[in-house]
Amino acid sequence: MSSAIVFHSLAAFAYAVLALVLWRSLASGKPVIQVGRSARLGLLSAIILHAIALYFAILEENHLKLSWSLALSASVWLGMIIFWLESLIIRIDGLQLLLLPAGALICLVAAMFPKAQLLAHANDAGLRLHLLIALCAYALVTISALQAMMMAALDHRLHFPRESSPSQTKLRSAVGRLLDAQPPLLAQEQILFRVIWIAFAALTFTVLSGSMISLQLTGKWLPLDHKTIFTLLSWITFGILLAGRYARGWRGRIALRYTLVGFAFIVLAYTGSRFVVEVILQRN
């Protein structure tokens, strides 16, 4: 069993234990536990285990390997880091109710699907940096999309509240308590745009560095393959959103729609295509 599988399994277990503590509190009708020092240390330990797993899976033995499952794993890992840093500034404890189960699930998926593609020219320092920044950009866009979907659910609950009643299903009741435990929409919107700004900067660097590497290896500025086209479309979408935010104060549903469109382009650029090739078609 590889080190990447072991550490992904350990990270999944750590996230699951932390999630169980919070969900038991929520199920008993108690408020979400405020993140204290011990909880932060526990989450930080899980993040470190997750980081070690990604290191062994992607960078072990001076190689560079990627796959759809590792892309998802890196996305969740970055999301955990952003949450951990944000939790030092504002109360966003409720987000753990979603992030921790997602972290456990994705780490388990990465352990179950460890097969990764060894990338050509990976010994080139510039290419390694480009690919790692690109992976971070894709991960940050994914985090933005998940945040946008959560905000859409909260917005819907605010406009169409449902009073609790005996006929209400347990699932609907649990979802309602989950949404009620989330941070206010204004705080989540601030987090969303901070992540989008970082994602846009990473996408910009990805496009520029990719152009230089393509020129060096093939003599072309930008290869017209599906990854490049959809990455550029995502970059343009987020650029329009940030310009609209600055010039016209775009927020709310407009911001959510642009975020989800940009995310869809990123899925088409990498994760979706690799999932089809590696899992459905069983090809390298």
Q: Tens digit of pLDDT for each residue in 174-216? A: 566 666 666 677 878 888 898 899 999 999 998 888 888 878 7
Report the alpha-carbon distance of residue 170 to residue 274 in Å, rounded. 37
Asked whether the CA dihedral 275, 153, 85, 80 is positive or negative, the reply is: negative
pLDDT at residue 89 above 70?
yes
pLDDT band for 167, please (50, 70, 90 cuts).
very low
What is the rounded average pLDDT of the residues 206-235? 81
pLDDT band for 173, please (50, 70, 90 cuts).
low
SS3 readout for the chain: CCHHHHHHHHHHHHHHHHHHHHHHHHHCCCCCCCCCHHHHHHHHHHHHHHHHHHHHHHCHHHCCEECHHHHHHHHHHHHHHHHHHHCCCCCCHHHHHHHHHHHHHHHHHHHHCCCCEECCCCCCHHHHHHHHHHHHHHHHHHHHHHHHHHHHHHHHHHHCCCCCCCCCCHHHHHHHHHHHCCCCHHHHHHHHHHHHHHHHHHHHHHHHHHHHHHHHHHCCCCCCCHHHHHHHHHHHHHHHHHHHHHHHCCCHHHHHHHHHHHHHHHHHHHHHHHHHHHHHCCCC
What is the rounded average pLDDT of the residues 129-135? 81
pLDDT band for 276, please (50, 70, 90 cuts).
very low
What is the rounded average pLDDT of the residues 76-94? 78
Out of 76-85, 165-174, 238-247, least confident range: 165-174
Report the alpha-carbon distance of residue 90 to residue 191 in Å, rounded. 10
Residue type, 195: V
Q: What separation in angstroms does the CA of 235 have from each of 23, 211, 247, 269? A: 37, 14, 18, 12
What is the rounded average pLDDT of the residues 213-231? 77
Q: What separation in angstroms does the CA of 153 have from each of 6, 32, 55, 189? A: 35, 19, 34, 13
pLDDT band for 279, please (50, 70, 90 cuts).
very low
Residue type, 96: Q
pLDDT tens digits along 16-51:
998 888 777 666 655 555 555 677 788 899 999 999
What is the rounded average pLDDT of the residues 135-147? 83
What is the rounded average pLDDT of the residues 74-94? 78
The pLDDT, as a whole number, for residue 231 is 87
> In whole angstroms, how large is the CA radius of gyration of the chain?
20
Report the alpha-carbon distance of residue 52 to residue 219 in Å, rounded. 37
More confident position, 246 or 183: 246
Q: Where are the domains of the chain?
A: 1-118, 120-156+179-284
Stated pTM of the model:
0.73
Kindly state the tokens that stand for 59: 């960078």
The pLDDT, as a whole number, for residue 281 is 44
